[in-house]
Structure 1
Amino acid sequence: MLSVTPSCRRPVRRGGARHAISAALVCGVLLAGATACGQGAERKVSGGAPGAASAYPGEAVGSRLPGVGDRMWSQVPAGTGQAVVVYGERPDSPDSLVVLYEKRESTWVRSASWSGHNGRLGWTEDHRIDDERSPVGVFTLTDAGGSLADPGSRLRYWYDDHAYVTMLPPGQAHTHDFDYVIAIDYNRLQGAPPFDWSRPEGVERGGGIWLHEDHGDGTSACVTVPESGMKTLLRTLDPARQPVVVMGDREHLAS
């Protein structure tokens, strides 16, 4: 998503509804023509989460998140009560299954799920700017926003009817990508708007990685779900429950 080098950045005027952010930058790349975040290719997803074909909302799945191995599970904070798990189809695939789990007492329950997309080249444990892969890991979810008014978000919501729109590439397919977004806390400052350009670990490590609305194909690092999914996540994720996203291809997740 919004991974930029210093030469690509423009000054951002704080405190107003207008931000001088280049419209050519979106999803971690300097766009050329219609490349943007995807090409509209036909998708095929075989499932993602264990038992996905027969799973249903409200199903209890046990004392830990399905398909998440010891290494990844150890990174989930003990106090977390909500988790968005992104089950990538394969290490080099842009296709994902996104599942929302909530903890009830000591048991995790599957609340909702959606077909989604991740980086168009798949996944990496060493994400770098413009590599077109989503970072594998466990990341907190603290800030949200969008070009549309707050639909009832429990996370802090940074509405701006201009800043997000100016980041969109040309083309009808991407018109609503940033209507609603949830910032993934990878190389960003918590408590800042999703469109903030700060990169604490350096710009070479990328950043600006969000959950946002799906446009039908892979992204440059973000994770996407349908509009209905974004609204559900915004209205459900509660900062008091320390929500996280656990994301990666199934092989990495199971490690």
Structure 2
Amino acid sequence: MITRRPRAALLAASLLFLTGCGGGAVASPGRPSGGDAAAASTLAAVPIPTPTARARAESAPLQMPGLGPRTLAEIPAGARQAVVVTGKDKNSPQSTLVLYERTATGWRPGASWPAHNALKGWTGHHMAGDLRSPIGVYGLTDAGGLLTDPGAKLPYHHSYGFTSPGTGFEGEPLAGAFDYVVAINYNRKPGTSPLDWTRPLGAKRGGGVWIHVDHGGPTHGCVSIAEKHMKELLRALDPDLHPVIVMGDAVSLAR
């Protein structure tokens, strides 16, 4: 049973996240799963592939396309799910989201979904109000929303605090944008509600960066996808698999 909040509290929460959807606890560095280069050189040395060579090729770990060595090195070794959000370019609000899962043979992709990011694109040093999404690798530990839990595996905070009044940058209504959210662990305390206002890096570095329901236009700093895809994502993300999000423009992620 949800207790209704006083109107003043709801307004405060609304204003908070209209300015805060904008970034931290950065995921600890890990090691990329290598092997592609070794397998390729082995096959190149054999004019007619032997059964052993074919077996090596089939079992060679698969990496996530578009991610360079610096980005891969930031993914924790224990992470077995990765939400990869690739921006069209550094200054674009358009991106693509793909959920990967690490298997015995490498990272396997799921569906690819269109997404929005911040109005002005991406930044490696996010600040409150810069209208850019933070580039990096961050944990995904907490979820919530205005609507009831659709079957999320992550801890889910159902609250009337997830309100989004007003309109977006293109005049589109924001109502329903926070029906479902997954908190991105940029400048927040993991293990708390997405509504928690703790900012380890200080308020000037922004916060309230989420994956949430798309409203048809750019965000203040969050990543947004269609409502049906948000439900699928919430049902797929598993805390036992230590999910992370890898986010940024294509050029930055390729480093």
TM-score, L = length of structure 1: 0.78
Per-residue deviation, 1:64: 1.9
Query: Counterpart amino acid of 2:208?
Result: G
- Partner of residue 143, structure 2: 144
- Partner of residue 92, structure 2: 93
Please point out which of 8, 19, 23 is paired with 1:28. Answer: 19
In the aligned structure 2, how far is the partner of 1:142 from the partner of 1:154?
10
Name the CA shift for 1:61/1:207 in 2 (closer, same or farther; >3 Å): farther
In the aligned structure 2, how far is the partner of 1:62 from the partner of 1:231?
29
| Long gaps (5+) in structure 2 | 23-58
Q: Tell me, what secondary structure is at the counterpart of 1:197? A: coil
Q: Which moved more, 1:16-25 or 1:91-100?
A: 16-25
Query: Counterpart amino acid of 1:246?
Result: V
- Partner of residue 6, structure 1: none
In the aligned structure 1, how far is the partner of 2:182 from the partner of 2:72?
22
The answer to whether the 8 Å contact 1:28/1:221 transfers is no
Name the CA shift for 1:194/1:17 in 2 (closer, same or farther; >3 Å): farther
Does 2:17 correspond to 1:18? no
The answer to whether the 8 Å contact 1:119/1:132 transfers is yes
- Partner of residue 231, structure 1: 231
| Long gaps (5+) in structure 1 | 1-14, 30-35, 38-59
- Partner of residue 195, structure 1: 195
Q: Deviations over 1:103-158 (max 9, x none)?
A: 22132111112101001000000000000000000000000000000000000000
Please point out which of 166, 170, 187 is paired with 1:169. Answer: 166
- Aligned residue runs from structure 1 range 47-196, under 5 A: 62-160=61-159, 162-165=160-163, 167-169=164-166, 173-196=173-196
The answer to whether the 8 Å contact 2:172/2:215 transfers is no
Name the CA shift for 1:72/1:127 in 2 (closer, same or farther; >3 Å): same
In the aligned structure 2, how far is the partner of 1:182 from the partner of 1:210?
6
In the aligned structure 1, how far is the partner of 2:207 from the partner of 2:3?
23
TM-score, L = length of structure 2: 0.78
Per-residue deviation, 1:28: 2.9
RMSD of aligned Cα (Å): 2.2
Per-residue deviation, 1:239: 0.4
Name the CA shift for 1:71/1:27 in 2 (closer, same or farther; >3 Å): farther
The answer to whether the 8 Å contact 2:92/2:120 transfers is yes
Q: Deviations over 1:5-55 (max 9, x none)?
A: xxxxxxxxxx955271523343436xxxxxx99xxxxxxxxxxxxxxxxxx
Question: Matched residues, percent identical?
Answer: 46
Query: Counterpart amino acid of 1:229?
Result: H
Count matched residues.
Answer: 211
Q: Tell me, what secondary structure is at the counterpart of 2:247? A: strand
Normalized per residue, the structure richer in helix is: 2
The answer to whether the 8 Å contact 1:83/1:100 transfers is yes
Q: Tell me, what secondary structure is at the counterpart of 1:138? A: strand
In the aligned structure 2, how far is the partner of 1:145 from the partner of 1:215?
17
Higher gyration radius (CA): 2
Q: Deviations over 1:31-86 (max 9, x none)?
A: xxxxx99xxxxxxxxxxxxxxxxxxxxxx995322111011110000111111000
Normalized per residue, the structure richer in strand is: 1
Moved over 6 A (4+): none
Q: Tell me, what secondary structure is at the counterpart of 2:96? A: strand
Query: Counterpart amino acid of 1:18?
Result: R
